[in-house]
Structure 1
Amino acid sequence: MPRIAIAGFQHETNTFSPTPTGWKEFCMADSWPGLLQGPKVIDGTRGMNLPIAGAIEAARASGQPIELIPILWCAAEPGGAVTDEAFERISGMILEGIAGAGALDAIYLDLHGAMVTESLDDGEAELLARIRRITGSGMPIGISLDLHANLSPDFVENAGPITIFRSYPHLDMADTGARCMIEILKRLNGAPQFAAFEQIPFLVPLHAQNTGIEPCRTLYRSLDELPASPDEYADIAMGFTAADVPNCGPSIVAYAKTRARAEALARDLFERFCACEGKFDTALFSADEAVHRAISMQGSGPAVLADVQDNPGAGASADTTGLLRALVDGGAQRASTGKEPGFIRALLGTMHDRKIAVDAHAAGTGVIFSGELGGKSGIAGDGPFIGRFEVRALSEGRIPYTGEMYRGGIAQIGPSALLSVEGAKREILVVVSSERTQCLDLALFTHFGVDPFEFDIVCVKSTVHFRADFEAGSRAILNVAAPGLFSCEPEKQTFRRLRKGVRIGSCGKA
């Protein structure tokens, strides 16, 4: 009976964020469970769209007896560099679990691929190197990764097999973990496999990595077209551009029975990817322009404005006020279409402001109070929105997700409130939370008794993930460049540590 240790340690690091990610952030439950150990790794992730849950289910469904040894699983909301204390503590727990597990045949790891620590450019490569000192070079260490992984040669050399999400929004997280477990079992059953690795010489902004549009749609479809046998496959990592590290950017891994065949697969995909340079849709609108366009648009359903640079799912603060100000300051009526102009209703979420959320709870439903909403992160060009707000609804912030991406999970956003902005020329409602959370699920609005599809404009602090729940039924989606800690214009970001030859602003404007 194969014995396979399983563990997970996930973080997507925004090195431009000034707020470090420490031990307590990995222990707390947010959209995913808090730190789990031993059998709780299996019980606490069951039924969720998580890679480790998919890997566990694939092992059970394989038809062969397998002993899984669960060690640890944890994740923290994207943010600044992982503290050395947190990295050493969690890595030590994983290493101790592996060393104490007895004879193992393989290891499965649920990692992100873009973890940077206070002292390490590639935290996962270091973790993997330490594991190899225990296991030696021959043991399969299968790793599932996020689509936004920044892969390094050292990481790929020590890992194998690697599988990577193939959808953004990430609807296939559990499927990716399952694919990895299947590849591990193939190796344990004697299937030879060699790896090849290629790094793409240019960065792709996060909002242009949407796999539902070109050229990513065709690139990812080619992953099923390239292999000639079931024993070979390739995957693409699009990279995470908020990490100023040498290996930031897209890359390709390929596996086959021979090294030459793996290299041929990787090179083919590399050439297809490079041929797309200049074809990525990198368009962004200013907040004022986006609101004006949304008001002027005809059609049914809301215009969805994505506040892409203040996405907490990319390490941003989720409290900037640029888009809110544009909503308040813009005209209150639709552009004339021969009919009477209509009143505009707008909805925004999720704004992170613990003080305002607590003040709303103290005030109570139906009460109007004064305050300074958001803008407390000190981001250049941003500041609090000073106004009066009516409390429309309150919650303790434990919100079951209803969408596909985070199925089975619960958003734990702390004391939270639905507020209306008083004195505005239009109805503007804002969901305010005590904890940062990406607005990627309709439940973050419907929980407060509002239906986003009944509004004219819906503003979400998200980059692409929101599309899984909001795109169908909307009349348009506009990507907005308001202030935030996650730049979707890499050419305006100050990179100091990229490897030589990486092009930053070469994708072209659509």
Structure 2
Amino acid sequence: MIRRRPVIAICGLACETSAFTPARTEAPAFHAQRGPDAVAIYDFLAPGTPLAAGADWHGALIGRALPGGMVTRAAYEELADEMIALLKEIVANHTLDGLWFDIHGAMVVEGLDDAEFDLLQRVRAVIGPDVFVSASMDLHGNVSRELVHQLDLVTCYRMAPHEDEYATKLRACQNLLNSLKGTRGTPQRPYKAWVPIPILLPGEQTSTRDEPAKSIYKAIPRVEVLPDIFDVGIWVGYAWADAPRNRAAVVVTGWGSEAVAAGAERLARKFWAARAEFHFVAPTGSLDECLDVAFAAKPMQRPYFVSDSGDNPTAGGSGDVTWGLTNLLKRKEIVDQTAGTVIYASIPGPEAVKAAVAAGVGSTVTVKAGAAVDDLHAGPITLTGEVFSVKHGDKHARTEVVLRVFGSVYVILTELRKPYHYERDFTELGLHPRQADVVLVKIGYLEPELYDMAADWMLALTPGGVDQDLKRLGHKRIRRPMFPFDKDFDEKPPNLSARLIPMSNEPLTGPDE
């Protein structure tokens, strides 16, 4: 029985990474926080909060990078080594009861098939098998059998877009405290039921705003309230990596083995039965098809948003594919200047930004940008226009420049790639997307503020490292059969029975499936 306040460590690395872009993610991209700073980033652990009062929290290292290309092995080893060294200091000075493992679940590291499991093995080597570990994950992560085994508790977001990120992380910490208290005042490890589901779909077909994902995720509370169950997670999986762990899954945890197994199977069957109903969250088409509609839109349909989805930097795209912008600027409506006000966000070009800043607002410049990382679909683009605005100090972009070309087309150039999700991302540059006619953004489904601004929108199926046409990418290592790559499951339906995973301090035996 723990009669003192539990001591809990915090660590984790998170980066959603595409295996289909030449981009690579290095250590500085993780913006690592260490020690007390790694605790301070979570408001629900601030002094005076219930969780802060319930345990002593000690940060090792937390790193979260923008989605992008694979993490280099050197970067991973550097961050992992430092994390382990800091964790050893915590263990040397405290009797550790628990650890919160804050991860994404779709981090791909060069040479590793399951980076989160590898990292957790290193953590376990320091903290031992008896310390309770609770993980919070993105529902677009991948939860392998091995990872579930080495965790005592695991939960994930239940909303896409991820409006419940804060609530999910808080839940992971509260679950950990509840397990340390147990049902009779002593620590108790829960039972874990895991069901892999042979479905691999992009997030743009599985948003919880729309059916069938909406109903699938609404079923979670109905399972969670059942006796002996205290947490339920449904993972859509991550579609733009290529490893055996990439697929959907369900994990249910609780105090009764029969209860967690039944709950997991119920949700897995519901997910599988709906497989043919998944669809894109908006009307789709080629870029030209989407622009035909956008430029012909009536005033009540403006601003009309178009997602340049293949190079979405928040799904793992490099962000510097120029294909979408190049084809936009070839349009007759742009050349003839009949398109109205058009905003494009964005394209990286550090040299272009430097030249524009040097020239100053109001100057006319000719610059070259993009395709420094991903030139598989188009080369660098040359732009001539007026420097409309400059902004310094952005966390991701560092410096941003708006270049006005063809009269009323506003192209955002960045020193480093940046996602554009918020209205302030535009207004701080002097742009007003609500008053624009057409807005093109490198994104998949629209984040909440963009969704609110758009009078209407379409999803353009453009090329890039996170191409929505998965079959066009050429997966070679995912498990087969897999929906929608394979569709005939009549002769051999998938095994959707629950796998009861041993406690983390017990050996994992038997076949992988």
TM-score over 0.5 for the alignment? yes
Distance 1:439 1:22, change over 3 A: same
Q: Partner amino acid for 2:402?
A: L
CA distance in 2, matches of 1:190, 1:387: 63
TM-score by length of 2: 0.86
Q: Partner amino acid for 1:19?
A: A
Q: Determine helix, strand or coil for the equivalent of 1:151.
A: coil
Does 1:501 find its partner at 2:481? Answer: yes
2:471–2:485: 8 Å Cα contact kept in structure 1?
yes
Q: Partner amino acid for 1:111?
A: I
Does 1:226 find its partner at 2:223? Answer: yes
Match in the other structure for 2:78 = 89
Deviation string for 1:367-393 (max 9, x for gaps)?
Answer: 111223334444333223333111100
Per the TM alignment, residue 157 of structure 1 is displaced from its structure 2 partner at its CA by 0.6
CA distance in 1, matches of 2:17, 2:374: 20
Structure 2: tracts of 5 or more residues without a match: 489-513
Per the TM alignment, residue 58 of structure 1 is displaced from its structure 2 partner at its CA by 10
Distance 1:58 1:14, change over 3 A: farther
Corresponding residue to 2:38 among 41, 46, 59: 41
Distance 1:119 1:376, change over 3 A: closer
Per the TM alignment, residue 361 of structure 1 is displaced from its structure 2 partner at its CA by 0.7
Match in the other structure for 2:501 = none
CA distance in 1, matches of 2:98, 2:172: 12
Corresponding residue to 1:414 among 364, 382, 398: 398
Per the TM alignment, residue 447 of structure 1 is displaced from its structure 2 partner at its CA by 0.8
Corresponding residue to 1:263 among 261, 264, 267: 261
Q: Partner amino acid for 2:284?
A: L
CA distance in 1, matches of 2:372, 2:73: 27
CA distance in 2, matches of 1:73, 1:151: 20
Q: Determine helix, strand or coil for the equivalent of 1:81.
A: strand
2:295–2:339: 8 Å Cα contact kept in structure 1?
no
More moved, 154-163 vs 467-476: 467-476
Does 1:8 find its partner at 2:12? Answer: yes
1:59–1:66: 8 Å Cα contact kept in structure 2?
no
2:84–2:123: 8 Å Cα contact kept in structure 1?
yes
Match in the other structure for 1:80 = 69
Deviation string for 1:93-120 (max 9, x for gaps)?
Answer: 2223333323111001111111221121
Per the TM alignment, residue 304 of structure 1 is displaced from its structure 2 partner at its CA by 0.7
Match in the other structure for 2:509 = none
Match in the other structure for 2:378 = 382
Per the TM alignment, residue 442 of structure 1 is displaced from its structure 2 partner at its CA by 1.6
Corresponding residue to 2:341 among 338, 345, 369: 345
CA distance in 2, matches of 1:212, 1:344: 31
Corresponding residue to 1:452 among 416, 421, 433: 433
Structure 1: tracts of 5 or more residues without a match: 27-33, 46-52, 334-340, 399-410
1:379–1:484: 8 Å Cα contact kept in structure 2?
no
Deviation string for 1:179-222 (max 9, x for gaps)?
Answer: 00110011011144211111111211231122111111111111
More moved, 133-142 vs 258-267: 133-142
Per the TM alignment, residue 310 of structure 1 is displaced from its structure 2 partner at its CA by 0.7
Q: Determine helix, strand or coil for the equivalent of 2:161.
A: coil
Deviation string for 1:472-493 (max 9, x for gaps)?
Answer: 2422121112222212111111
CA distance in 1, matches of 2:173, 2:7: 12
Does 1:213 find its partner at 2:193? Answer: no
Per the TM alignment, residue 62 of structure 1 is displaced from its structure 2 partner at its CA by 4.1
Match in the other structure for 1:275 = 273
1:358–1:416: 8 Å Cα contact kept in structure 2?
no
Match in the other structure for 1:404 = none
Q: Determine helix, strand or coil for the equivalent of 2:344.
A: strand
Number of residue pairs matched?
A: 470
Corresponding residue to 2:392 among 396, 399, 402: 396
Q: Determine helix, strand or coil for the equivalent of 2:101.
A: strand
CA distance in 2, matches of 1:303, 1:230: 48
CA distance in 2, matches of 1:381, 1:9: 31
Match in the other structure for 1:328 = 329
Q: CA RMSD in A?
A: 2.3
Match in the other structure for 1:68 = 57
CA distance in 2, matches of 1:9, 1:139: 19
Q: Partner amino acid for 1:85?
A: A
Q: Partner amino acid for 2:95?
A: A
Does 1:104 find its partner at 2:96? Answer: yes
Q: Partner amino acid for 2:451?
A: E
More moved, 222-231 vs 469-478: 222-231
